[in-house]
Amino acid sequence: MDSQRVWSFVFVSALILLAYTTPSVTAGDIVHDDENAPKKPGCENDFVLVKVQTWVDGIEASEFVGVGARFGRTIVSKEKNANRTRLTLADPRDCCSAPKNKLAGDVIMVDRGKCRFTRKANIAEAAGASAVLIINNQKELYKMVCEKDETDLNIHIPAVMLPQDAGLSLERMLLNSSSVSVQLYSPLRPVVDIAEVFLWLMAVGTILCASYWSAWSAREAAIEYDKLLKDAADDIPSDKAFGGGGVVDISTTSAILFVFIASCFLVILYKLMSLLLIDLLVVLFCIGGTEGLQTCLVALLSRWFKHTAESYIKLPILGAVSYLTLAVSPFCIAFSVLWAFYRSFSFAWIGQDILGIALIITVLQIVRVPNLKVGTVLLGCAFLYDIFWVFVSKKVFHESVMIVVARGDRSGEDGIPMLLKIPRMFDPWGGYSIIGFGDILLPGLVVAFSLRYDWLANKTLRAGYFLWAMLAYGLGLLVTYVALNLMDGHGQPALLYIVPFTLGTFLTLGKKRGDLGILWNSGDPERPCPHIRLQQSLDLDEDK
């Protein structure tokens, strides 16, 4: 179908805007790079996020998130061990000189600036404060470290940095009420959140479904091709050739160009990230998601409504459209529109994942790698692309471009919609576990190719390549999440782990079994032509 080819290119263009596996976004973004900050006795705390729960006139109020300083006493991790303490506004506000009144165990709130963080903490402690909240002059959080020449680091009270908007809210509370009290604690993250398990199952399940659909279509095309060869070996219509039917094969050149085009799109997103651009991406995602959901539903329902699926009506511009497609389309459009309208709600991730999975499955059905050479070039380029824009880009742009774009730090929203996400269920800091479409789609192209090859070569599951490619992908993604947790939530490029596992397994097995030449060059198993088998059968009959 020509329309299918058009949509496949639309999908691929949209998916160039890849969002890769990044850490779940907690409240507040820590911007200070402290890798070179000195650590010394009295200034060697680990940086931890801190919850600041408030009570106004005895009634529980807002909760804010800050970050603990490198210096000072460590903050308790359990809420039951944290004391509720009265909050006092510093006078002078910067706390660079002694407060006018004794604090008697109060938590003091001070403004950032005019003197060092450690000086503020020392003055607050000398005045009797039990903790100091330092309000940043920007909306981001900032890691408070010690300077190289600092010596007065014997600080016995905790120091916490809060973002500017939290400080404004606390100040309004203090000015408009008779009493404000706070409680500081830093709950620990679970080693593994069940959201990551479900996300792993979603990614593996999506590739599994897409691979079987792709292989089934390829086998049906091969059967039809065999029939055509039997009926008319010398007169085969070009549009019925094996591998046709609306399928787009990726070439080596397009695989190489991918990394450059994707990089250009990523830089554009990074430089022009805004609420308007996010809205544009949402529209594109809704268009692609609608078509993907429609394609999947039509393919599924056509098994029960075969006559409706095979009956067509000719429409202007769209051409021939089946009655089943017409029946399903309004539902798909309504679903996408409702998701776009409610995308800021807590439950919107469900709709986003449904649209995303349908879109990925449809793309993996339409777009294919013809052989292992193209698959290796594609994944190799994506491997380098992932590493550069997650890690190396920090040297050029002073921040990870991939993570900034994926989280939508400059847009005022939750980031681009081209990713699957699940809310972290047992994480006290909330947020989402997310994976970009590219981390499923690109390896999925190679995994789907392995199953198509196995079926056309009549290989068993164990003797084929699909089972091992799926296991390799699942293991690579699992290692990604292990690395994510071991590195304290710092963004990890999933393809850094997935590509070596998937390609390494495929290439090693192909070499060991002697199939690497066929896999690398043609990608199709050697199959005797049906008309030759027919002629051989006739010859045998004549001999008898």
Catalytically active residues are 386, 439
For the purposes of burial, counting CB atoms within 10 Å of the CB of 334, is it exposed (0-12), middle (13-18) or buried (19 or more)?
Answer: exposed
Specify whether the CB–CB gap between 170 and 87 falls below 8 A: yes
Q: Is 432 helix (H, G, I), strand (E, B) or coil?
A: strand
CA distance 100 to 113: 19
- Give Cβ neighbours of residue 424 (< 8 Å, ≥ 6 apart): 24, 193, 195, 430, 431, 432, 433
Widest pairwise Cα distance in the chain: 116
CA distance 288 to 182: 47
Specify whether the CB–CB gap between 229 and 527 falls below 8 A: no
Specify whether the CB–CB gap between 369 and 444 falls below 8 A: no
Amino acid at position 73, single letter: R
Of 139, 186, 145, the C-alpha closest to 167 is 139
Residue 84: both structure tokens together = 């509720």
> What residue spans of 311-347 are helical by DSSP H?
323-341
- Cα-atom radius of gyration of the chain, to the nearest Å? 30
CA distance 444 to 126: 61
**Residue 117 CA from chain centroid, whole number:** 36
What's the first-to-final CA gap in the chain, in angstroms? 47
